[in-house]
Amino acid sequence: MSLRKENSSMLPKVMNGCLFFFQEFLKHPLQIGSVIPSSQALIRRVIDAAQVKQAKTIVELGPGTGCTTRAILENMGRDARLLSIEINPNFYSIISQIQDGRLITHLGDARKLKQILNDHHLQAPEAIISGIPFSTMSDECGSQIIRAIHEVLAPGGRFVAYQLSKKVISLCSPVMGQERVQLEFLNIPPMRVCCWEKGNGNGNGSGTNVTRKLQ
C-alpha cells in the first residue's frame, strides 16, 4: 500500500477518534482538558521531558483515547511497565483494548495513586505523566493529587504535566519545588509542558528518603 493510500485509510479513524473525544468533552468538561486529543508534537515533548526511555515504572494519569499511551509504549523499555489510570469509563474501555503486556489499565481516581500502585504490585515510578485538567478541579482535589504523586514518585523521578493553565504550577510549587516549563505551539490549543524532578535540584528534597518499594 502506498503512503498516500495508507494515510487516506487512517484519516477516518483519526476523525472518529477526535469526534468521540469531543463528545466526551461535552459530557464531562471538568474531567477533560481539551476538545481534541494531543498532537504528535506535544506527545514527543512530553515523552522527552519524562525521560520515558530510562524509566522502569511509568504512570499515566488521564490517558483519554490513548494517543500518549501508545507513544509511551513505543518509547519505553521492553521490561518497563506502564500503569494508565483513567476516571472516565468510556475512555477506560478504549485504552483497555490496547494489546501490550507491559500495559496495566485501571479505572479509578488519581488521589488513590499509592493504593493503586500497591494493588498492581508496582514499584515507585520514575516517571508520572499527567494530562488531567487541574484548572477545572478544586484546589483541594488538585492538591490531594499532587501530594499523592509526590509521595509515590521515586527519588530523582520526574512528574510531567501538560496543561493549558498555570494552575498546576501553583499547586505543585509548595510540594515539588521549582518547575521547568516548555511551550508547545504545535497543538490545539498550545500547551505548557511542566516538569518537576523529585529530590534532584528542582523538587522537594524530602523525596530522597522514599524507598523504591512502596510501603
What is the per-residue DSSP string for 140-154? HHHHHHHHHHHHHSP
Residue range 118-123: average pLDDT?
A: 98
What's 99's DSSP letter?
A: -
Radius of gyration (C-alpha) of the chain in whole angstroms: 17
Evaluated on CA atoms 126, 132, 134, 137, the torsion sign reads negative
> Residue 186's CB: how many other CB atoms inside 10 A?
12
Residue range 174-196: average pLDDT?
A: 94
Residue written as grid cell 514499584: 123
The pLDDT mean for the chain works out to 83
pLDDT at residue 202 above 60?
Answer: no
Q: How high is the pLDDT of residue 26?
A: 42
pLDDT at residue 140 above 90?
Answer: yes
Q: How high is the pLDDT of residue 37?
A: 74
Residue range 174-193: average pLDDT?
A: 94
Q: Which one has a higher pLDDT value, 146 or 6?
A: 146
Q: How confident is the model at residue 199 (pLDDT cuts 50, 70, 90)?
A: confident
pTM for the full model? Answer: 0.80
- Point out which residues pair with 107 in neighbouring strands: 86
Q: How high is the pLDDT of residue 204?
A: 52
pLDDT at residue 100 above 80?
Answer: yes
What architecture is domain 3-207?
3-Layer(aba) Sandwich (3.40)
Phi-psi region of 87 (alpha: psi -120 to 50; beta: other; left: phi over 0): alpha
Whether omega before 174 lies within 30 degrees of 0, making that bond cis, reads no
Rounded CA-CA distance 11/29 in Å is 26
pLDDT at residue 22 above 50?
Answer: no
Q: How high is the pLDDT of residue 11?
A: 34
Residue range 147-153: average pLDDT?
A: 98
How do the domains of the chain map onto residue ranges?
Answer: 3-207
Residue range 142-170: average pLDDT?
A: 96
Q: How many CA atoms lie within 13 A of 131 on its CB side?
A: 26
Helix axes 167-176, 139-152, angle to 10 degrees: 40
pLDDT at residue 49 above 60?
Answer: yes
Q: How high is the pLDDT of residue 36?
A: 62
